[in-house]
Structure 1
Amino acid sequence: MRLRLAATAALALTITACAPSTSSPSSAPSDGGERTGTLKVWLFDEPNRPPKEGVVQAAIAEFTAAHPGTKVDVAYIPVETRSERFKGAFNDPASAPDVVEYGNTDLPEYAAAGGLADLGATVSGWAEGADLGADAKASATYQGTLLGVPWFVGVRALYYRTDVFAELGLKAPASQADLVTAAHTIRAKKPEMFGIAVGGKYTFGALPFVWDAGGDITSINSPQSRTGLKVYTDLIRADNCPPQQCADLTGGKTVDLFASGKAGMGIIGNFNRAAVDAGAAKGKYAVVPLPGSQPGSIAPAFAGGNNLGIMKNSRRPALAADFLTLLAGKKYQARMYAAMGNLPTLKSARDEVAGKDPFLKPFLSTIDAGTKFVPLDPGWGKIDASAVLPTMIEKVATGRATVEQATDEAATAISAALTR
């Protein structure tokens, strides 16, 4: 899940939205509930809320104009306390909102609580629903039931310093072998830099290597997973990114290192663009998809992002569906990209913004090549909170455990969490 996107883009978008759907969730009353009154909406707060709020207010104005007698009351809830707020809403339906924004990795926990409505009928009756890709819908589906509409997505690709590559006669990596060679060359020729910033606490930087090798989180001690993990942890070495400095490196610190000019490459998200441009690397970098082991292939990336859902106990499910499909539609996805850098989930909206911003091409190519996701199981929250995967990576990187020992330990913890 990615809860805040910092990138900005100056896009003047004049896209005509299709009419909002009037379908109601299958769990809703047959009459669709009340058609007037106040619709309660929970959206995540942002450090820089005004751009997001401006887009949302425009959608509200359009919605209320088309639905006389209605109001939309939006509460911006802190990301840090979202779990407690949602648990309270699940336990007290009378005070619950109608439409909610939630992180896609929150889905299993919320689905297990039974608080989200089935949106299968809503999306089927929504003209733009067919524009959602299979990967996007899968990240909002739990045990065969669609419980959200993906609102935006974030993926990572390989940022590299064009000036450093040119100076050393290197080409943009087209395979894992190219990446490793480039990393070692940069470190050898420019010892003040890391070849590629990689860290023991950067789970979503490491997982593409595991997935590319045919492994997965749920089979983390398989031969395939071990092969991919070894490629990644072998980069946390003195000849690229020394463990003394990189064993506890997070994704955020990776961005900082690349942005400040201390790394020749970094596995960084489309949503980190503004942070990179705020540093010494501005104007001196390019982006390509993170290459896989086969020349010309793309390593699978984690598709983080947020969904829009409807609470199962909404008194106005049909009205909620109308507002959700308006806000999640092409028009407002494009406006959210312009305001916040949020990468659209609708292909037509992605094509629209990509046509105006070539920077997005490697990220869209990554999505088109196929993305991966965390286990859709309530136990994932425990795995994440217990830092099972970062601990595994750190132990290998620091020599406290072999790949075999660390993956066996992690597999035991993962299995216990997912089978409860």
Structure 2
Amino acid sequence: MPLSDWTHEAIRKIEADFNRSADTHLIPLDLPGYPDIHFYFKDESSHPTGSLKHRLARSLFLYALCNGWLHEGSMVVEASSGSTAISEAYFARLLGLPFVAVIPAGTSCAKIEAIEFYGGRCHLVANPAEIYTESHRIAQEAGGHFMDQFTYAERATDWRANNNIAESIFKQMAEEEYPVPAWLVSSGGTGGTIATLGRYVAYSRHKTRVLCADPENSVFFDYFRSCLDGKPQPELGLTVGSRIEGIGRPRVERSFIPSCIDAMLKVPDALSFAAMRYLSARFGRRVGGSTGTNFVGVLYLAQQMRAAGQGGAIVGLLCDSGERYGNTYYDDAWYAAQGIAIEAADALVTRAVNGEAVLTPQAVAGLQAAGAGLAAGG
């Protein structure tokens, strides 16, 4: 079926919006304990909607439009912990479409306000595991379209080129001392970014490896490990959601592709928040919790490289701004309510930054919740 005039115009609007946007920055970071290793963070907070998910939302809208799933007046529905919903609300407004975000009830107020700023409506769900069924129901009753980022993230993104995040990183690294990074580090939300990084590296025949850092309340690490053991467990599930908004999932999502990943790390939430606070102090502005999770992965790899006498570059992702978490991650009272030992975690990150090989399962045992741990796979 040929695309309608409205669909052609919708695609044009999204492409015009893309052409008005500059690329995101690659920020260097010097760490005193690792003189032979160069560190960089890809700053995705500078997108128009303030996070890495802006890339995903653009890809999802183009994918839906070109598949004929979106039409003039279609209600767009998404299951999201916040950032994807903000970005999709932006594109829905651009196209004049109504948008409903189905989000966990614990999502930060700042994210809810951002969704509503772009004209979206928030439907809060007490149990994070129910966001999928609720999204299907709302879309079906309204005759709309459920974007389903957790299914389509890995296939909607053009991983070969089109200035995806991986291609952008390698272009920006071209004049650095180590133009081909030893490692790329990202956490997993949908799994789409990790798949894009891994596929682009393979397609470009780089020797770069990809590490996925996973927070406490998530099944991705355990699923990855089960795949390594030759006994995949796609049925894994949790009854609680991740405290690190935007990453970690209570079930194995279809966009999470273990074979695109070289190694995984299970990161205690306390360490993620400590690493987040350290980076915020170094960059002079707040970053989100998922960036802290990524930084723990970066530090772990730096320890391994230094122990092996290796130099090189490691690139992590700065996923979003910390300004969205002023009432949670940047509030001492929130940590007390959650029972998170921030002082011990801060001290451990400081020691790791200064070059001590402290990121071991034994050292972080006192920081972890049930089932959490610090261990690499792959």
- TM > 0.5 fold call: no
- TM-score by structure 2 length? 0.29
Larger Rg: 1
TM-score, normalised relative to structure 1? 0.27
